[in-house]
Amino acid sequence: MIIKRRDLLAAGLLAGGAALCALIPATATRAHEYDLGKLTIEHPWVRAPKDGDTTAYFYAFVHNKGDVADKLIAVKSPNVGKVALHAGATHEIAQGGIAIPAGKTTTLSPEGAHVVLSEVKKINPVGWGMELVLVFEKAGEVTVDAAVDAPDAKHAHDAEALARWEKDHPDGYKAAPAGEHHDHGDHHHDHGDAAKK
């Protein structure tokens, strides 16, 4: 089941006329969110592999608005060889999946639970997106377009890390990458406040 990005939906409605704008709920205009049943996946992002490496890391905020706990049990991509789910920053394997408690927000971050994507065969440049399928034990599957951030990014859309990457890769944006991934360059701001939810 593919859930379209809310910012694309909002853009389509805006194109339909100013009258429709008044009908768009405020939550529908927030960028980079995906709904799957009672789950909302917010700001999915990938920390790109370092030059010469093939390991990337996936992070996001997962809001469980329901009264039933769930688990992230897999992340799929034809461009990733192996996936490992980690329960915390110490890299212990999350046996059975990463817990998504009911009524809470689970933060996947460099300082907490996260997903390791190994043997990455192909990834778009920093500033673009990477399509991933998230698989939850109860809610099912959702396809997300995760923003690709710099290898040393500390959070989604880390402007300082992006500036360092751009300095080291002056040719990084000369051509759009292959595929239908979206440029996330318009979202270069800190979402650290979302972790406090």
Q: Identify the structural domains of the chain with CATH numbers, from first to last.
A: 1-31 (no CATH), 34-170 (2.60.40.1890)
- Residue 14 has phi, psi (to 5 degrees) of -60, -35
Is 187 a residue whose pLDDT tops 80? no
Least confident of 12-16, 62-66, 112-116, 134-138: 12-16
Residue 91's pLDDT is: 82
Tens of pLDDT, residues 142-155: 999 999 999 999 88
What letter would DSSP give residue 186?
Answer: G
CA distance 58 to 47: 7
For the chain, give the mean pLDDT. Answer: 77
118 membership: H or E segment, kind and range: strand 114-120
Residue 108's pLDDT is: 96
